[in-house]
Chain A
Amino acid sequence: DIVMTQSPLSLPVSPGEPASISCRSSQSLLQSNGYNYLDWYLQKPGQSPQLLIYLGSIRASGVPDRFSGSGSGTDFTLKISRVEPEDVGVYYCMQALQTGFTFGPGTKVDIK
């Protein structure tokens, strides 16, 4: 199984400030087609997870451009350029390379 780790696990941020979450996989998620099979999800309080980023850096439909994903291989980053109050929740990375998808432990983002 591919093991996913995230840091930090808790991230208090002030509105309007940037935020960054790191995700690491136990093996490379880079395929020969040049794509990294890494997704980012946000689970808002009391809701189902919603897809933010797929293939490492592509924003899902309707996702604000303040969210961006980067990285390759085993190291990835999700950045929020300016945190809004509605961005609070738990952020998960998920490897989509191998069926038997695995998720990181989650990073809880809340407002200071």
Chain B
Amino acid sequence: QVQLQQWGAGLLKPSETLSLTCAVYGGSFSGYYWSWIRQPPGKGLEWIGEIKNSGTTKYNPSLKSRVTISADTTKNQISLKLTSVTAADTAVYYCARGLGGSGSYWGQGTLVTVS
């Protein structure tokens, strides 16, 4: 059974860098699009960006100047970095495999609080 496990620091101060990692277990890493999505407390879902198998990335224009998504194919992991965080970046962050396809899988979510 495919499981996405994610981890990273949950409490940051303003201006620090958010760093999260996501790994897949029980399923394939290659051949899929990998995405990060976030959800502010009590609010809806916002797509942050994606990385393709080839390493090509696309980002939400509203976050593009601060976001980096990378992949480590040797570890079957992807990472998210968001620089210069503010309180507005407080959210649950999700990684997802195959978003927009026939069978997307999501991580359990990581609450990141900026305070």
Q: Which residues of A contact B (CB under 8 A)?
A: 37, 39, 48-51, 54-55, 58, 60-61, 92, 94, 96, 99-106
Contact = CB atoms under 8 A, between A and B. Distances in A.
A98 B101 CA distance: 12
B74 to A, nearest CB: 26
Contact of A101 (B99, B103, B106, B108): B99
Majority SS at the chain A contact face: loop
Given A92-B45, A103-B47, A54 B58 contact: no
A48 B106 contact: yes
Interface in B70-113: 94, 99-104, 106-109
Contacts of A54: 100-102
Contacts of A104: 44
Interface of B: 35, 44-47, 50, 58, 60-61, 94, 99-104, 106-109
B109 A101 contact: no
Contacts of B44: 92, 103-106
Contact of A61 (B61, B94, B99, B103): B103
Nearest to A95: B100
A94 B61 CA distance: 18
Nearest to B45: A103
A92 B37 CA distance: 13
A51 B108 contact: no
A92 B50 CA distance: 20
A27 B93 CA distance: 28
A37 B94 contact: no
A100 B103 contact: no
B100 A50 contact: no
Contacts of B45: 49, 92, 94, 103, 106
A9 B7 CA distance: 32
B6 to A, nearest CB: 10
Contacts of B109: 48
B107 A51 contact: no
A109 B46 CA distance: 20
Nearest to A61: B103
A8 to B, nearest CB: 15
